[in-house]
Amino acid sequence: MNRILIIDDDRELCALIGRSVLAENMEADFCCGGKEGLAKLKERDYQLVILDVMLPGMDGFETLERIRKESSLPILMLTAKNDGVSKVRGLRAGADDYLTKPFAMDELVARAISLTRRYTRFNRPEGGSPGSLLLTACALIWITVRSLRQTELLHCPQKNLTCCSSL
């Protein structure tokens, strides 16, 4: 089941979105501020962040920039700021999509499904679990894979090392 994090100070809206995505086999956690959202992202694995721009304390743009320093997780900006400047600023700062309030819930859910599908499809090999890596010759010699339970070292065979050295 995909998990999304909603960072928005409107608790009723968060609960409504949570119920709507649950019907599509997605779980939702939510919080009311950017700092709290950043902390939750370190505690759990998510496949999507829905982020409001106008948050108390750290605004959505700053939160977005901090997330992007550490993650390629898809981010959907959901905000009442519907001017072109805000949309361009959000997208250029790393948002994957931008939806303005008021919005149709079925459109938000469709966008969430699309973003999580793309993220999970391209971040795991067929049949693998999220976070699995498909290594090709000449990719990485040693990598550290972090999981919820343990850290493992994966070894790249000697023949791949030879391939890399010939480039």
CATH number of the domain to which 104 belongs: 3.40.50.2300
Q: What does the pLDDT look like over 112-137, one tens digit per residue?
A: 999 999 998 877 544 444 444 444 43
Q: What global pTM score does this model have? A: 0.74
User: What pLDDT is attached to residue 124?
Assistant: 57
User: What pLDDT is attached to residue 37?
Assistant: 97
The answer on 112 and 52 residing in a single domain is yes
The answer on 142 and 102 residing in a single domain is no
User: What pLDDT is attached to residue 59?
Assistant: 96
Tell me whether residue 89 is exposed, middle or buried, using C-beta atoms within 10 angstroms of its C-beta: 0 to 12, 13 to 18, 19 or more.
Answer: middle
CB contact at 8 A, 47 and 73: yes
Rounded-to-integer distance, Cα 24 and Cα 15, Å: 15
The answer on 147 and 114 residing in a single domain is no
In this prediction, residues 47-54 reach a mean pLDDT of: 96
The answer on 99 and 159 residing in a single domain is no
User: What pLDDT is attached to residue 123?
Assistant: 72
Give the number of domains in the chain. 2
The answer on 105 and 36 residing in a single domain is yes
What does the angle CA 11 – CA 48 – CA 141 come to, to the nearest 5 degrees? Answer: 150
In this prediction, residues 43-56 reach a mean pLDDT of: 96
Rounded-to-integer distance, Cα 89 and Cα 121, Å: 27
Tokens 């599908």: give the residue.
117
What does the angle CA 81 – CA 29 – CA 16 come to, to the nearest 5 degrees? Answer: 60
The answer on 32 and 6 residing in a single domain is yes
Structural domain including 101 reads 2-122
The answer on 28 and 110 residing in a single domain is yes
The answer on 140 and 116 residing in a single domain is no
Q: Is residue 3 helix, strand or coil?
A: strand
42 in a structural domain: yes
pLDDT of 32 strictly over 60: yes
The answer on 71 and 146 residing in a single domain is no
Q: What does the pLDDT look like over 63-110, one tens digit per residue?
A: 999 999 999 999 999 989 889 999 999 999 999 999 999 999 999 999
Rounded-to-integer distance, Cα 20 and Cα 29, Å: 13
In this prediction, residues 26-40 reach a mean pLDDT of: 97
Rounded-to-integer distance, Cα 159 and Cα 25, Å: 42
The answer on 149 and 112 residing in a single domain is no
